[in-house]
Amino acid sequence: MKELVLLAFGVKDYQVERAPGWLDGERFDINAKAPSGRRTSLDDQRSLLRELLTDRFRMTTHRETRQASVYLLVVAKDGLKLTPKEGPGAGTRKGCGHLAGRHLTMESIATVLSRQFSRDVLDRTGLSGKFDFELDWTPDSGPCPGAAEALPSIFTAIQQQLGLKLESAKGPTEFLIIVSCGAPLRKLTSASLTPIGLPRPELTAPRYDFQQSPPMLSTVTLFDIPSQHLPAPIPCAVLAPVQEERLPLCIFLLGAGGTRDSMLELQPVFDGWWAEGAVPRMIVATPTPGLDYYMEDQAGPIRWDSFLAADLLPYLRYTGNAGDTTVVAGISGGGYGALKLAFAHPQIFAAVCAMQPMLEPGLQESDVGPRNRLHHTAGGPPQLIGAARDPALWESNNPANRARANAQQIRNSGLAIYLEAGGRDFLNAHDGAEFLHRVLWDLDISHEYHLVRDADHGGPTMRPRLRAMLSWFASLWSPASMDAAAEAAATVWLQSGMKGKPPAGATTTNAFIRSLRAGVEPFRAKAAESDPTTNRNFGRF
C-alpha cells in the first residue's frame, strides 16, 4: 500500500509523514485498462491512483516544504571520474550494493542516489550533459551474497568510483502529510465510479469485503503512536466526520479486549446517528488498550493516564481538526479508565461519560468482596487485577478515591459527569457505579446517573445506551434554547405580583423558577443556621 502512495504522489518513503502503520503491510492488486488506442503517461497514472486513494481509502493529504537535512552532490577534490555520454533513452538498474545509470543528467543521478538515503540529494556539481555510471558498495547490513571482495561504504564508493562527494547540509525538502486514511471497508456506489477521462482502476483485496453502500460520511484513520509512558507503540484509530469545521474531540476508551478495529465496525453506526442528528458530530479517537486496564503505575513502565493526557491528546490536537472542547467517554473497563482520567485532570476535560464502568465498590482494597471480583477472571495486570494485586496501586487508580482527592478541583472546573449501569449486570458492575454515585453525592459533585432497568453488561441494550450517552453531549454543547417571548411574558406577570391567569408556559420559564428560588431563600438561610448542609446541593444521609 505504501508503494501505491509513493507512486501516486511521486515522493520517496522518507517524505511521507503521519502514515498509519498498516500502510506498510497491506497489499492490493489494481487492474486498470486505458481506452482503446490511448497511451497513458506517468502523470495520468499518478492522477488515476490519487483518485483511487481518495475514493476507496478516503485519503486526504497536503504537501509542505520545510528545511531538513539533505546531502549536496559536489565534485570531489580529485575531480570527476565520469565522462559525458549523450544518447537516446535513459534508465537505471539496481541490485544489492549495486547501482547503474545510463544517459542521466547530474540532477537525475542526485535523485537516484537519494533513494539510498532517508533524505534528499541536491545537485550542486554545476555540470551539464548526460552520463553513464556504475557504483558498487557494501550495504550497511553487510556484504552482499556472493561478493568477491570487500567493497567500501557507499559514501567512499561515490568518491572513488564517480569522483563525486556527498556533503551534509540543510535544504528545502517537500513532505507529503497524510491527514486521514481509512481502511477500505466499503466499495463506493456505481454512480461514484463513473469514468472521468480515464477509467478508474478496479481494486481487489483479499482481506476486506467490499460491500455496496452509499458514500461515507466519515473517515477512519489508523496509526501507531510511540510513548515514553508505555512499553510499546499504541495502535489508535480516529473516526472523524467529513467536514472542515473544527469539532469537539472525544477520547473513547474501550474495555478489555477492545481494539482500534472496533471503530471500523462502529463507523456506519456513527454515520447513521450523525445523519439523523441523534448524536452531535465530534472527532472520536480510540487507542487499543490490550489488558493494561488503563493502569497508571508511577513506579513501573505502564502509565496510561500519562500517555492519554500527555501524548495522545497533544498529538490529536496537532494533527487533527479538533476544536477547543475535549471530552472522554468509555465502556466497561474503558469507563473505569475514563472516570479516573477525568477525575485526575478535570481541567483538561469538559465532560466524562462512563457506560457500565467496571468499578469495584470501596475506597480500600479490602472493602471489595468476592461478589465484585468476578471480572478478575478475564485477566489484567496482576498488580491491579487478581488475588496478589498491590492494594496501594489499586487505591491510587480507584476513581472514587480520585474524586475524593480532587473534589474541589472537579467542582471548580465544572466537569460534567454522566454515569450509567445496567440493573442486571452479570459482573455486578452496577454495584461499583452505585457506590461512585453515592461518593459523588456525598462530595456534592454534580452528575447525572442512570440505572438502566434490566440491562446487562452488554447485549441488545448496548447500542441504544451508547447512543443515549453520546447524545447527552449535545445537551452540554447545544442546550435547549430559551423561549424569549415566554420569558418576557412570565417576567411581566411575576412583576405584577402574579395577578390574573399566568401566561401560557410561564411555569416552565427560567424567570418563574428564579422567582420560586428567591422566595425560598429566607427559609433556606434560617435552616442553614442549625443545619449547614442546607447550603449543599445534595443532602447528607
| 190 pLDDT above the threshold of 60 | no
**CB 185 within 8 Å of CB 264:** yes
Amino acid 38: pLDDT = 58
Q: Nine-digit cell at 436?
A: 461512585
Q: How distant, in Å, are the alpha carbons of 170, 285, 287, 305 from that of 310? A: 31, 15, 14, 8
Mean pLDDT of 131-141: 90
Q: What is the pLDDT of residues 30-84, one digit of tens each?
A: 666 655 555 667 787 788 888 888 877 778 888 889 898 999 999 999 999 998 8
Which amino acid is residue 437, in one-letter code?
Answer: H
Backbone φ/ψ region at 231: left (φ over 0), alpha (ψ -120 to 50), beta: alpha
Q: Give the pLDDT score at 183.
A: 61
**Tens digit of each residue's pLDDT (9 = 90 or more) over 159-178:** 999 999 999 999 889 999 88
What per-residue confidence (pLDDT) applies to 31?
66
What local confidence, expressed as pLDDT, does residue 152 receive?
Answer: 92
- The burial of 121, by beta-carbon neighbours within 10 Å (0-12 exposed, 13-18 middle, 19 or more buried), is given as buried
Across 184-210, average pLDDT: 35
Q: Would you say residue 197 has pLDDT above 60?
A: no
pLDDT in tens, 457-487: 999 999 999 999 999 999 998 887 788 999 9
The mean per-residue pLDDT over the stretch 205-221 comes to: 51
Residue-level length of the chain: 541
What average pLDDT score do residues 231-255 get? 90
pLDDT interval class at 201 (50, 70, 90): very low
pLDDT at 500 over 70: yes
Report, as an integer, the average pLDDT of 493-517.
92
Q: β-strand 121-123 against 16-17: which pairing, if any?
A: unpaired
Categorize the per-residue pLDDT at 216 as very low, low, confident or very high, splitting at 50, 70 and 90: low
Of 336, 240, 226, nearest to 286 (Cα)?
Answer: 240
Please determine, for residue 179, whether its predicted confidence score (pLDDT) is greater than 90.
no
Look at residue 29 and tell me whether its pLDDT is greater than 70.
no
φ/ψ (deg, to 5) at 139:
-65, 160
Instruction: Categorize the per-residue pLDDT at 298 as very low, low, confident or very high, splitting at 50, 70 and 90.
Output: very high
Least confident range from 135-149, 199-213, 352-366: namely: 199-213
How confident is the model at residue 35, as a pLDDT?
A: 57
**Percent of the chain's residues with pLDDT above 70:** 90
CB atoms within 10 A of CB 309: 20
Whether the pLDDT of residue 206 is over 60: the answer is no
Quick check: 253 and 337 in contact, CB under 8 A?
Answer: yes
CB atoms within 10 A of CB 24: 11
CA distances from 459 to 360, 419, 454, 456, 494 (A): 21, 18, 11, 7, 50
pLDDT in tens, 482-494: 889 999 999 999 9
Structural domains for the chain? 1-59+181-215 (no CATH), 67-170 (no CATH), 226-477 (3.40.50.1820), 484-535 (no CATH)
Q: pLDDT digits over 348-399, tens only?
A: 999 999 999 999 999 999 999 999 999 999 889 999 999 999 999 999 999 9
DSSP 139-195: -TT-PPTT--S----HHHHIIIIISEEEEEEEEEEEEEEEEE-----EEPPGGGG--
Summarize the confidence of residues 407-414 as an average pLDDT. Answer: 96
Determine the pLDDT at residue 92.
87
For residue 187, pLDDT beyond 70 = no
- For 362, phi and psi rounded to 5 degrees? 150, 160
Q: Which pLDDT score is estimated for 194? A: 29
Asked if the model's pLDDT at residue 446 lies above 90, the reply is yes
Amino acid at 192: S
The answer to whether the beta carbons of residues 359 and 423 sit under 8 Å apart is no
Mean pLDDT of the chain: 87
